[in-house]
Amino acid sequence: MKAFLILEDGTVFTGTSIGSQKEIISEIVFNTSMTGYLEVLTDPSYAGQAVVMTYPLIGNYGICHEDMESAKPWPDGYIVRELSRMPSNFRSEDTIQNFLTKHDIPGIAGIDTRALTKILREKGTMNGMITTNENYNLDEILPKLKAYTTGNVVEKVTCKEKYVLEGDGPAVALLDLGAKKNIAGSLNKRGCRVTVYPAFTPAEEIIASHPDGIMLSNGPGDPKECTAIIEEIRKLYNTDIPIFAICLGHQLMALANGADTHKMKYGHRGGNHPVKDLETNRVYISSQNHGYVVDTDKLDASVAVPAFVNVNDSTNEGLAYTGKNVFTVQFHPEASPGPQDSGYLFDRFMKMMEVTK
């Protein structure tokens, strides 16, 4: 069946329908990862977005449920050049086509994803529609595309109640803003007892549990939409509990301390982004997924200083908070997918907790 991707600038791509046949409007973003499509699909940070995979062949090693970063996929839609119908992998348990259909995610295959990515790079991220309706009316559709916003999607992706991953090491409170499974897993495999809290948990409840450390996770959407969560993070910051934050957590901590954020032209999404540690001048290849960034020119040096910078475009990739046991990064040290170069940051967090005990 034919499917159409309609962008808000009026560009139309024609391809083949994959997955569900429902019609969706979403923000169209691209990911440059060469592997890890299942981890991308199950990353809650993609809620409210439709993902373009720049690698031309997707689905060739099938679906292995053990590799999922959450219990379900989150993107509104999925856009690929070629979908492999016959996966070859001894671990494969399903095809990506069945996976998309089962979870009611529409997609489109057979389009020139290279040309689409060039449009998004040149004009910036824009909204779009995936539809199988051959009688679509651009005059009716384009105003709807321009009006679409992702809204407050953190509420959609966070866990509904707290749960615990047992361990005999430090007790870590993980605030789930849309956390990937491997964040808690990276702490748990280092011996931590991880208690995962819903995003809107009052700071007082977390503090009252006397954790040795607090972890703020990744998540979707515009950080400035999370006004209530920012207030609670400010309370967590004002304690002496060591805090490590990733991605959205990094942005919310900055906003809680008077910094600002803005939307990037097309964001960073993929497993090949170089970041420099400003303390050691070492460069690491990182996994990233974000469309917003912290403005360091509006950062008070008495509160925080840049700790990491993106080598490609010099945007901020991390902050160290002055006089506090708090550090935050924009990228994903837990990988999944992507390189594990920066996994040492979890070890840094472990040492912070040991020192402050």
Catalytic residues: 247, 332, 334
The C-alpha torsion from 204 through 205 and 210 to 212, rounded to 10°, is -90
Residue 272, marked binder: no
CB distance 115 to 93 below 8 Å:
no
Task: List the Cα angle 122/284/45 in 5-degree steps.
Answer: 55
The C-alpha torsion from 7 through 9 and 10 to 11, rounded to 10°, is -60
Alpha-carbon span 79 to 58, nearest angstrom: 10
Residue 219, marked binder: yes
Is residue 174 within a helix (H) or strand (E), and if so which, with residue range? Answer: strand 171-176
C-alpha to C-alpha distances, 105 to 175, 179, 197, nearest whole angstrom: 27, 21, 28
* Burial of 101: CB neighbours in 10 Å, binned 0-12, 13-18, 19+: middle
Q: Can you tell me whether residue 325 is helix, strand or coil?
A: coil
How many DSSP H helices and E strands does the chain contain? 10, 19
Report how far apart the first and last C-alpha atoms of the chain are (Å, whole number): 61
Residue 209, marked binder: no
C-alpha to C-alpha distances, 222 to 192, 212, 255, nearest whole angstrom: 30, 29, 12
Alpha-carbon span 289 to 303, nearest angstrom: 26
Residue 88, marked binder: no
Note the Cα 9 to chain centre separation in Å: 26
Residue 49, marked binder: no
Contacting residues for 133 by C-beta, under 8 A, at least 6 apart: 4, 23
Residue 105, token pair as written in the block: 């995610």
Contacting residues for 122 by C-beta, under 8 A, at least 6 apart: none
Residue 289, marked binder: yes
Note the Cα 289 to chain centre separation in Å: 4
Report the binding-site residues: 45, 219, 221, 248, 251, 289, 291-292
| Annotated binding-site positions for L-glutamine | 45, 219, 221, 248, 251, 289, 291-292
